[in-house]
Structure 1
Amino acid sequence: MPTPVSIDNAPPPRDHRRRPQESRSQQRRRSVATLRRWRYLSQLAVAVLILVAAVRHQLARESGAPSTDALCPFGGVETLWTWVTTGEFISKVHPSNMILGAAVAVSVLVAGNAFCGWICPFGSLQDLITGLRAKLGVRAWSPSPAVDRVLRAGRYVVLLAVVVASAVTASLIFAHYDPYVTLFSLHWLFEPDLATMWPALVILTVVLIGSVLVDRFWCRYLCPAGAVFAVLGHLSFLRIRRTASACTDCRLCNTPCPVGIDVAGTPSAVSTDCIGCLECVANCTFGGALEVSGPTWVGSIGRRTSERDTVLS
């Protein structure tokens, strides 16, 4: 017959709602994983919104449905010189372009180049291409650091050419060749005209092939909007920062970066080419080495003493 258990010695009832105690590193990884899911949802939602707007514009032109041109913040950059000097917008630019451009500029000053990692549908498409290539087991081409630096200058060349051409012609001349507009406007589907569209289609094809070979090919080397954001990013309030004393130099943070930043070699703040995808932070094996932080006088989001992290780990 089993020995009766005294009420005083009985084990306390289990609280199934209580989580096991997590270390600071585990909490941090879980938070980053949640943010990554929100990023994927944001990318999908914006891509769907742009495609729906494009379909409405193609099917109901008389209703004034906005085009992809009206939903592009870079239009604000293209018309800026004309607007400042004449007080007028260039052809096909709407107040919406200026409003979106100003909103994105403010977001860059607050959170860096997160627009490209969380919002831009063409960037999302390139992420999708990267994911499909990874599923097929095909490795991307990684240019040498010297070649990469030269290629990244291409964005600024394109930016200068676009701004000058737009100011001289007083038109959205870049829209005729912009791969984002070519693809997401859906002209190729509703109004196919190879006689006039072939240059844009060739450029789009080259960019997509480049995106198969190199992660975010367009974003890294050719996007003029990315060039603007990279410059403004130096004034950004929030940036991913690396604490060298907490880093183990495993260099795992470099592996998932879609824009090829040498995160492990960063002395402090990560390059302004960063698109805020947080993949490097998620891949960091030691909590505290990489953090999303403001200026040093503000402190870091979620920063805790290393002693507490060591004890809980």
Structure 2
Amino acid sequence: MMATPTDLTDISIPAGFTFDSEDAYRDAVERFRRDVDSRYLRPLSEMIVEQCPTQRSTRTIAGVPVEEFVPRDADPDRVLINLHGGAFCSGAVHVSRIESAPLAHRGGFRIVSVDYRQGHEHTYPAATEDVVAVYRDPLAHYAPGQIGIYGGSAGGMLTAQVTAWLVRHGLPVPGALGIFGAGTGGAGDGDYFSAIGNGKTPPDQIISRLADGDVGYFSTAEPGDPCVDPTLAPVEFRTQFPPTLLITGTRAIDLSPALTTHRALCRAGVDAALHVFDGLGHCFYYTAATPEAQDAYETMVRFFRKNLSGGE
């Protein structure tokens, strides 16, 4: 039986497990990658790329591996950059396809999905650096307003972090952002209520502990760094974010971070839209054939078509 997104925290990592050494963290990441790939991601990605046909190709941009998804009759004036989910330690290839193929197929967008560096092999800000390096490539061919960046779970967090990095360094921000199944700004009640809603013992923090802590991907980050958590940045900083779409669910571990991020952007005057799907969990839209996932993808398509300039 195929696992669902809300089952991922149960795979090979016992409740209460702590990563008290680099060896323990490395072993946990390797188990997580192996079991999630075999039980969930590989079969799901194979099904989705068959249901959502696009022309796929791999190459490197500025030394960073990417996979491109080009649908038939692709929009020549808009391009999206996908940042895959995976707790900042997994998700390359399969999550990239799960997140990219449906949106490329439905929206007619050319999508470049970034295989960015992550834990256990690397630490912050490696992923941000890779995405910024890739982002510079379409900037040579498109106006910033024609480029969108989006991602799910860790990729949604990374979308916000990359944008904050661009603001800090005075580079043009993309025309629109999609932060899906994610947010920044802490867990709030989401860790507890999502666990109860999904039949688990609260709090549900395994995925976050794969990235945080003394040996995780963010172990080298400075507390309060707005390029890690943009909700902590001054209003003058946040106001430079472009229109942003956030998607979450009432049973999602990311509900509280998504709410916090939405409020932080709205307080700064950013055009931020929040869609909360009732009764659904973390990255529910990964099961792309369900009516709720199709609704979410239609929302994404409308958002990017409206907010990316399309060469106008």
- Tell me which interval the TM-score lies in, with the shorter structure as reference length: under 0.3
Q: Which has the higher contact order (CA 8 A, sep 6+)?
A: 1
Task: Give the number of the structure whose residues are more often strand, by fraction.
Answer: 2
Larger radius of gyration: 1
Task: Give the number of the structure whose residues are more often helix, by fraction.
Answer: 1
Q: TM-score scaled to structure 1, two decimals?
A: 0.26
